[in-house]
């Protein structure tokens, strides 16, 4: 069984699969974002005036105590949730000015999500899981199958194509999730504790894979993590506390 992550230049330098954006400069711009939850017990402000930008090809980590708002922020950037106020621009598109239909299209085409718990569909095969974003985008069957297989090959798990995801190890399942996130060549990859369920070595392998997507292919990545050692290896770290950006540091 091949358990190694394919991070060498030769296997990952697949231009067609991982084409660079032609647009340059800023990929993500978050402007004055706040989020308030209302309940009978009162209102809770979980994000307070968040402002930052991320350039194309940057790999940014977001750290901070549990409950500081990291996942809420990531979900808003990925249009899974709406801000109470403020704007999010992805490639200069004011995403919440779009209709719900266009937000769904934008999310499928511009954003790749990776979650701690993989979020794969266990009743269908690995390859079909990877094809889902392309099915939604209306890519023709042969074309999407070909692309999914090449992504599996790129990530070193092609022999798992026809298995159900729950027959794979955690690290392998996360690689399937990464392949799915790459399927439509998104502008930005959002990863919420992608190594959180993995042992130290496997987590490091998955992290190195993300790092190499960023370094070699200029993929823009935002990763939430509780692992400070991994955060230090990203280009920049955003420190959150009580719903605010407390600090920012280039690594
Ligand atoms: N739907 C909701 N209604 C009310 N409060 C919520 C809701 N969702 C999240 N919160 C609150 O928002 C705050 C931020 O939560 P969030 O999940 O963003 O934290 P986090 O930084 O990702 O934490 P962790 O490191 O534990 O994942 C928490 O206090 C949480 O209880
Ligand atoms: Mg969280």
Give the residue, by CA position, lying nearest to ligand 1 atom 18. Answer: 69
Give the residue, by CA position, lying nearest to ligand 1 atom 1. Answer: 37
CB-side neighbour CA atoms (13 Å) of 221: 30
**Distances, alpha carbon 25 to alpha carbons 52, 58, 88, 104, 142, in Å:** 14, 10, 16, 24, 34
pLDDT in tens, 42-90: 999 999 999 999 999 999 999 999 999 999 999 999 999 999 999 999 9
Between CA 60 and CA 238 the distance in angstroms is: 7
Give the residue, by CA position, lying nearest to ligand 1 atom 5. Answer: 37
The answer to whether the beta carbons of residues 238 and 61 sit under 8 Å apart is yes
Which ligand is in closest contact with the Cα of 65? 1
pLDDT in tens, 167-215: 999 999 999 999 999 999 999 999 999 999 999 999 999 999 999 999 8
Residue 193 CA to ligand 2 center (angstroms) comes to 7
Residue 43 CA to ligand 1 center (angstroms) comes to 13
The CB of 37 under 6 Å from ligand 1? The reply is yes
Q: How confident is the model at residue 93 (pLDDT cuts 50, 70, 90)?
A: very high
Give the residue, by CA position, lying nearest to ligand 1 atom 12. Answer: 46
The CB of 227 under 6 Å from ligand 1? The reply is no
Q: How confident is the model at residue 18 (pLDDT cuts 50, 70, 90)?
A: low
The ligand 1 atom nearest the CA atom of 240: 21
The CB of 35 under 6 Å from ligand 1? The reply is no
Domains (ranges, CATH) in the chain?
Answer: 9-17+57-69+100-250 (3.40.50.300)
Q: How confident is the model at residue 24 (pLDDT cuts 50, 70, 90)?
A: low
Angle at CA of residue 126, ends 121 and 128, nearest 5°: 75
The CB of 156 under 6 Å from ligand 1? The reply is no
* Mean pLDDT over each residue of the chain, to the nearest integer: 90
pLDDT given for residue 12 in this prediction: 42
Task: Name 240's bridge partners.
Answer: 245
Residue 87 exposed, middle or buried by CB count within 10 Å (0-12, 13-18, 19+): middle
Between CA 192 and CA 157 the distance in angstroms is: 22
The ligand 1 atom nearest the CA atom of 193: 27
The CB of 129 under 6 Å from ligand 1? The reply is no
Residue in 39, 31, 118, 123 with CA at minimum distance from that of residue 76: 31
């Amino acid at each position: 069984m091949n358990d190694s992550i394919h991070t060498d230049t030769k296997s990952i330098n697949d231009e067609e699969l991982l084409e660079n954006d032609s647009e340059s400069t800023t990929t993500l711009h978050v402007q004055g974002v706040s989020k308030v939850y209302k309940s009978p017990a009162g209102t809770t402000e979980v994000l307070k005036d968040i402002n930052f930008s991320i350039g194309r090809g940057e790999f940014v980590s977001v750290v901070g105590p549990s409950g500081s708002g990291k996942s809420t922020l990531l979900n808003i950037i990925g249009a899974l949730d709406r801000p109470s106020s403020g704007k999010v621009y992805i490639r200069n598109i004011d995403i919440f000015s779009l209709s719900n239909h266009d937000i769904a299209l934008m999310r499928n085409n511009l954003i790749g999500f990776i979650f701690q718990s993989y979020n794969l569909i266990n009743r269908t095969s690995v390859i079909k899981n990877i094809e889902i974003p392309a099915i939604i985008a209306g890519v023709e069957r042969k074309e999407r199958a070909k692309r999914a297989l090449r992504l599996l090959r790129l990530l070193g798990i092609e022999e798992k194509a026809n298995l159900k995801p729950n027959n794979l190890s955690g690290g392998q399942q996360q690689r399937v999730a990464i392949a799915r996130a790459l399927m439509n060549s998104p502008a930005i990859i959002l990863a919420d504790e992608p190594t959180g369920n993995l042992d130290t070595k496997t987590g490091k392998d998955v992290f190195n894979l993300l790092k190499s997507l960023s370094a070699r292919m200029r993929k823009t990545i935002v990763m939430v993590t509780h692992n400070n050692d991994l955060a230090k290896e990203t280009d920049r770290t955003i420190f959150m506390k009580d719903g605010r950006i407390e600090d920012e540091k280039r690594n």
